[in-house]
Structure 1
Amino acid sequence: MSSSLHPMLNVAIRAARAAGAIINRAALDVEAVRISQKQVNDFVTEVDHASEEAVIDTLLTAYPGHGIHAEESGRTRGSAGSDHVWIIDPLDGTTNFIHGFPVYCVSIALAVKGRVEQAVVYDPTRNDLFTATRGRGAFLNERRIRVSKRTRLPEALVSTGFPFRKGDDFPTYLKMMGDVMQRTAGLRRPGAAALDLAYVAAGFTDGFFETGLKPWDVAAGSLLVTEAGGLMGNFTGETGDLLEQGECLAANPRVYAQLVQVLRKYSRFDSTPRTPGERREPISLKKTDESHDAA
């Protein structure tokens, strides 16, 4: 741990690495991992639970008065009334993990009075550690990172998430992805939203968009992106409450503005007047407690 880092960030890093060690051990024999299904195409494993326990135990040992908001255990641990709440996804990209596809991560954020102040996204397969403290910048393995410098959407590489649950508005997703694909250099679907946001922060991709996301999907990534000089909000470009909107757009500032022009008509927050015959195609969000990228 670094003495120059905020002490709460150091604890989060220790928690993320403890979870990563559990994940890496399980990855050596992934076929032996017990898997259950929360709903169609939405899986949880014993590794999710074990890594979440490791994260929570590490955090509450250091800060027993803090609150917890975790994907698998919800708010059952920690202090319910605390201003300090740790938002945790112990294994973002579970479907990737159970197939041996090495794109998944641990995501930990600390929100103080509703605002994210500390962030860690840890990729155990690459030993990549993304960190941020509000006002101090974003880092990858202790090296300062910035969003990309690309200014034109046709040159941009953009990541997204696909719908995978029964009842998701797949036809509208196809239209939205078609609009983006025709205007960019490429569209990718890695399958772990927290890592997608970290990659925007590092400039590996130029933008990211998805709907149906939960606070644990975006909490850490939102601070990484903004501390790296990027913008994050909904499809109309408004920042608002990033943790609760469910609709996420992140990019460097120039690409962000251009993606808003493409995606605005799909936003459930868009109140822009329409010309006669112009269609607005909002994407419906499923009202579940699960992450859209829990897969």
Structure 2
Amino acid sequence: MPATDLSLLIEAAYEAGKIATRYTGPRAKRWDKPGGAGPVTEADLAVNEMLERDLSSNRPDYGWLSEETEDSSDRLNREKVFIIDPIDGTRNFVEGSRTWAHSIAVAEHGEVTAAVIYLPMRNLIYAAAKGQGATLNGEPIQTSDPGIMHEAEILAAKPNLDPRHWQSGNVPVFVKAYRPSLAYRMALVAQGRFDGMLTLRPSWEWDIAAGDLILREAGGLCTDRLGQDLRFNNAHPRLNGVVAAGPNLHGQIFIHLDPRGPGLPG
């Protein structure tokens, strides 16, 4: 019997972890991408090569979108597409941190249907399939949903506290926290370790596709900064930020957000 998409992604994630952990982080060869797009290492490329080879051979009809593969419009004509970040948190990988992840997802007609976020150095594997709930290391997980925003612990980098993002320039009170790796932040909210997360700048699809499904299957809401559902496999694979939390807290955040604040141009 053919493997389900989720079991295929889980197997691929474990293999990705074996490859990435063969490298020593700070000693891995690295380059800076043009245009200030950040670093890439030989580990990113090795993981990407394996994933593209193995996943595409198992699902030859699926399209391919990865941070480390030159994009092609061919994926736009496919019903299903892999959306991959070989190593989310490359800067942390280079520094020798344990907090980096493999983010692997399948989207069908713009909606993510299977997803895995794997942190091999922390032995954490988050997974979800549409309609089947979300798990951490095989155990079900669920988002939290505090009743009062000022008691909520929300993952948000400092730029998200720019008053221009908020109604009348008033940044709401909440407990602020931060973790590297956007995929990991989304997974932590799905797990209920944190109550919400937000990134109000344009976000690449490969950073957030897996987290979107894992969060929703854990009972949370995951939208862009305007409250719109996230849709994937766009011609320009960048979305207008991410706001993720339990339903009650998600609504409270949007009471304070200013939709006219900085976001995607146009």
- 5+ residue gaps in structure 2? none
In structure 1, the partner of 2:190 is 201
**C-alpha RMSD of matched pairs (Å):** 2.6
Check the 8 A contact 1:68/1:74 in 2, yes or no: no
Matched-pair contact (CA < 8 Å) for 1:19–1:55: yes
Q: Is the 8 A contact 1:65 1:78 kept in 2?
A: no
> Do the aligned partners of residues 98 and 119 (structure 1) sit closer, same or farther apart at CA in structure 2, a change above 3 Å counting?
same
Which residue in the other structure is 1:249 paired with? 243
Contact 2:67–2:86 (CA<8 Å) still a contact in 1? yes
What residue in structure 2 maps to residue 291 of structure 1?
A: none
Which TM-score applies when normalising by structure 1? Answer: 0.79
- Find the partner of 1:54 among 50, 55, 58: 50
| C-alpha distance in structure 2 between counterparts of 1:255 and 1:188, whole Å | 16
Identity percentage of aligned residues:
32
1:66-123 residue CA offsets vs partner (Å, 9 max, x unmatched) = 2111111044598663211000001001111111122110001101122111011111
Letter in 2 for 1:113: H
Flag the 1:108–1:245 CA change in 2: closer, same or farther, 3 A: same
State the secondary structure of the residue aligned to 2:207.
helix
> Amino acid of the residue matched to residue 226 of structure 2?
T
Counterpart of 1:106 (choices 93, 102, 109) is 102
* C-alpha distance in 2 between matches for 1:153 and 1:142: 30
Q: Can you give the 5+ residue segments of structure 1 that lack an aligned partner in the other structure?
A: 164-171, 271-279, 288-295
**Residue pair 1:96, 1:102 contacting (<8 A) in 2 also:** yes
Compared CA separation, residues 117 and 198, structure 1 to 2 (3 A) = same
Match of 1:23 among 20, 23, 30: 20
CA–CA separation in structure 2 for the residues paired with 1:41 and 1:81: 27
Contact 2:225 2:240 in 1 (8 A): no
Say whether residues 1:147 and 2:143 are aligned partners: yes
Does the 8 Å CA contact 1:161/1:191 hold for their aligned counterparts?
A: no
Deviations, residues 155-210 of structure 1 (Å, cap 9, x unaligned): 111112456xxxxxxxx853359955x5112x223221111111111111111111
Q: What is the letter of the counterpart of residue 227 of structure 2?
A: G
C-alpha deviation, 1:132, in angstroms: 0.5
Counterpart residue number, 2:118: 122
- What's the offset of the Cα at 1:247? 1.5
User: 1:36 maps to which residue?
Assistant: 31
**Shift in alpha-carbon separation, 1:35–1:237, aligned structure 2, 3 A:** same
1:132 alignment partner in structure 2: 128
**1:65–1:79 Cα contact (<8 Å) kept:** no
What per-residue deviation string (whole Å, max 9, x for no partner) do you get for residues 21-44 of structure 1? 122221xx2232111111437111
1:254-283, Cα deviation, whole Å (9 max, x unpaired): 1111111222x1xxxx3xxxxxxxxx5x21
Task: State whether residues 99 and 122 of structure 2, in contact with CA within 8 Å, keep that contact through their aligned partners in structure 1.
Answer: no
In structure 2, the CA distance between the partners of 1:229 and 1:161, relative to structure 1 (3 Å rule), is same
Q: Is 1:189 aligned to 2:184, yes or no?
A: no
Question: Which residue in the other structure is 2:214 paired with?
Answer: 224
Cα separation, partners in 2 of 1:136 and 1:209, compared to 1, 3 Å? same
- Cα distance between partner residues in 2 of 1:192 and 1:157: 17
1:179 to 1:145, Cα distance in 2 relative to 1, 3 A: farther
